Amino acid sequence: MAEEMKIGEVAHYFSKINVAAVKLTGDLKVGDKIHIKGHTTDLEQNVDSIQIQHDSVQKAGKGDDVGIKVQDHVRTGDEVFVKI
């Protein structure tokens, strides 16, 4: 099993557009494989796009609030990990 490093937490989930707002505590870039884990959440996917203030970016870091398109429902407070 690949190692994982916590890089943030879901601050909000926008169900109509399947986007998770994530407060980052680490680095994230397009192409990274992430794992979102919570009480009832267990989702692994690749990051296809990252947005900051509705602008697409290739990477983001600690302290950034980003939007990530997700393949399934996630919940506020879910932890976001990146595969390393």
Give residue 35's domain range.
4-83
Domain count, the chain: 1
Q: Quick one: how many helices (H) and strands (E) in the chain?
A: 0, 10
Q: What is the DSSP letter of 20?
A: E
Kindly tell me if the per-residue pLDDT of 20 is higher than 80: yes
**Which CATH number characterizes residue 23's domain?**
2.40.30.10
- In b/e form, how buried is each residue of 7-18, taking b as 16+ CB within 10 angstroms? bbbbeebeeeee
- 51 confidence band (pLDDT: 50, 70, 90): very high
- 1 confidence band (pLDDT: 50, 70, 90): low
pLDDT, residue 2, reads 75
Max Cα distance, the chain (Å) = 34
